[in-house]
Amino acid sequence: MGQYHVEVPTPEYWQRQIKCQQACPVHTDARGYVRAIAEERFDEAYLIARGPNPLASICGRVCGAPCEAACRRGAVDEAVSIRALKRFVSDQFGASVDERNRTPQRLIRRLFEGRGRRRSSRSEELTGFSEFLSDQKLADNSTGEKVAVIGSGPAGLAAAHDLALMGFRPTVFEMEAVPAGMLAVGIPQYRLPRDLIAAEVEFIRALGVEFVCNTQVGRDITLETVRAEHRVTIIAVGLKRSRSLSIPGSDGRGVLGGIEFLRDISLGRDVDLTGNVVVIGGGNVAYDVARTVVRQTGVDISRTALRRAGVKAVHLCSLESLDELPADDTEIIEGDEEGIIRHHSLGPKEILLDDDGHVRGVVFQRCVRVFDEEGRFSPQFDETDLTTIEADRVLWSIGQRPDLSFLDTAPDIEMTERGLPRLDAQGMQTTAEDVFVAGDLAYGPRLLIDAVASGKQIARRVFEVVRGRRLVEDVQLVHLEIPDYSREPDYEKLKRTQIPTLSPHQRTSDQQTVVELGYDATQAVCEGCRCLDCGVNTIFDSEKCILCGGCADVCPELCLELVSLDKLTDNPDVQEILRQCDDNPAELSVIIKDEEKCIRCGLCAERCPVEAVTMERVNFESTWRIEPALKNA
């Protein structure tokens, strides 16, 4: 038998076992609220989800869900539908349901009252954090330092939310007529209802945040004025312009940017979409664009006074093959249902124009490779294999870029060769001491929840710089034994509950009809029961163990094994244990466990004749303190 690679459990090890939480950029205790839903503790589930995430109800609709990608249940069959479960409880208890929930004091009180009941792993809860700040007399934002936030997307909203909690006076500048940036004008309404966004904004406003809309920095107000009137300025403008390719015909009439198109539709502007429409791109935004075109056709047809020929077909053309397509599977499936025509492995070569300079078609060349051997984006084409698709409109959706023209008058903010602000080692502060950057502008396009995390991190950094002190979270690990541990019958056999949706005909008649209906209570509980509850662990007491092997024999997943100690690899922690033993390693035995296979059924604990195996829940209890900021931080 060969050597085994093992790891001796540490607090960090136990944290890593809760994969959904580790994958979440704001460390939401997804396992905690999913299991609370399984036990029909719905209100508590919402409080757990809302604790670290000021946009929890929005994430329940449109988050990219890295928690699901990491979910250990996915190795068994399919991941738990975590995002849909967050939506389920947010739809019942979020700010959009009950106006009283838009009062921060009420939510904080509810969170505080629920802390004793909660059996959660580590999460930076709104309660403990705000309570600590209040005790330290840091939460009075009537006299706090003024902070400007340019841009009210998810990064800007999260930054303003936490800055207000910390006693600052944030003012958010937004170029659009409504707050929330691309959440409000970039994400289609069929995915994210506008009343839900408005409710979450009102909660943040109630914390003392001021929103100044219809105000573009650099046009309506200068950056110099903003900086002069605020102690700190945070740039969170996002990537609000579409990228395009400089190919022949790209400046023709009927060629539009996908982001600009979504913005126009969200703001109720009339967009002419007659004829064949070609969307170039293969990501989620490209699908947002294509599916919005489908819906706008229904809107146009319903305007009897403005009858038009309408859209004949919507083509989505991507460099990637179907297997490589970056869009979510749900987007692809629902797009197919709605009649979008997919063309894969095609790269645009030329946009054909008629005598009036209007689009009449697109010539594509076959893409034979998108990525090189090292996985880097490096497309190659067969220029002899051409395809022409008739088109009356072309919408670019191959990437996004920011508009940073307002920085031209700020010479103390150095720019990189890529035209972006030069940032410090932490990727937050510019070369100007009072200017910070958050969200996509800091690290490129990522998920909504990444922007939320960035905004929260910026708020902590501003606290350090402005007040010369640092907020430190101390996390203590606690194992709590679970008496009479049990699981739902046949939980390991439950199949993923598909999220109910409207039929294609019902959902494509307008832009507002939401596609996903969401779970009802029965469906949500069933889906919650699929969670393997990775915060629960099997703990072995070596003093009691008689090495009978019963636990390994009864394990349905064969994740336990008894081996001699000398079969372990040269792990330093194992060597330290050996140094404390006088016995010959070849004469000692050890139980090793494959965490990836364990489904937390508890049969090993039930089988053990000497009660050497217990089922225990790991908790990470957080406390806060303030210490002097590190020099050169």
Instruction: Please give the model's pTM, rounded to 2 decimal places.
Output: 0.92
Helix or strand (DSSP H, E) at 184: helix 182-185
Question: Could you give the C-alpha distances from 460 to 164, 173, 234, 447, in angstroms and in order?
Answer: 12, 20, 12, 21
Q: Given pLDDT bands bounded at 50, 70 and 90, which one contains residue 138?
A: low
Whether residue 103 has pLDDT greater than 90: no
Residue closest to 251 by CA, chosen among 359, 90, 135: 359
Alpha helices for 355-475 (secondary structure H): 440-443, 448-467
**Pairing outcome for strands 241-242 and 255-257:** unpaired
Strand partners, 388: 363
CATH number belonging to domain 247-396: 3.50.50.60
Predicted confidence (pLDDT) per residue in 521-559, tens digit: 999 999 999 999 999 999 999 899 999 999 999 999 999
Q: pLDDT of 586-624, one tens digit each?
A: 677 888 999 999 999 999 999 999 999 999 998 888 888
For the chain, residues classed under CATH 3.30.70.20 are: 533-628
**Could you give the CA distance from residue 63 to residue 51 in angstroms, rounded to a whole number?**
16
Which residues, 6+ apart, have CB-to-CB distance to 188 below 8 Å? 262, 265, 266, 288, 291, 292, 295, 511
Reported confidence tier of residue 487, pLDDT bands at 50, 70, 90: very high
CATH topology of domain 533-628: Alpha-Beta Plaits (3.30.70)
Kindly report the backbone phi and psi dihedral angles of residue 474, in degrees, each rounded to the nearest multiple of 5, phi listed first: -100, 130
Q: Which of 1, 8, 3 is nearest to 595 (CA)?
A: 8
Quick check: 482 pLDDT over 60? yes
Cβ proximity of 207 and 367 under 8 Å: no
**DSSP of 474-539, one letter per residue?**
EEEEEEEE-TT----TTGGGPPP-PPPB--HHHHSSSSSS-SB----HHHHHHHHTT---TTEEEE
Report the pLDDT averaged over residues 326-355.
96
On the question of pLDDT at 115 being above 60, the answer is: no
pLDDT value, residue 302: 45
**What confidence score (pLDDT) does residue 630 get?**
67
Tokens of 237: 């403008």
What is the model's pLDDT at position 145? Answer: 94
Looking at this protein, which amino acid is placed at residue 305? A
Other CB atoms within 10 A of residue 308 CB: 13
Checking if the pLDDT of 405 tops 80, the result is yes
Determine what percent of the chain is predicted with pLDDT higher than 70.
Answer: 90
80 and 525 Cβ atoms separated by less than 8 Å: no
What is the average pLDDT value for the chain, to the nearest integer?
90
Residue 130 has pLDDT above 90, yes or no: no
> Do 345 and 366 form a contact (C-beta atoms < 8 A)?
yes
Q: Compute the distance between CA of residue 54 and CA of residue 159 in angstroms, rounded to an integer.
A: 10
> Which of the four pLDDT bands, split at 50, 70 and 90, describes residue 308?
very low
What is the reported pLDDT for 632?
A: 54
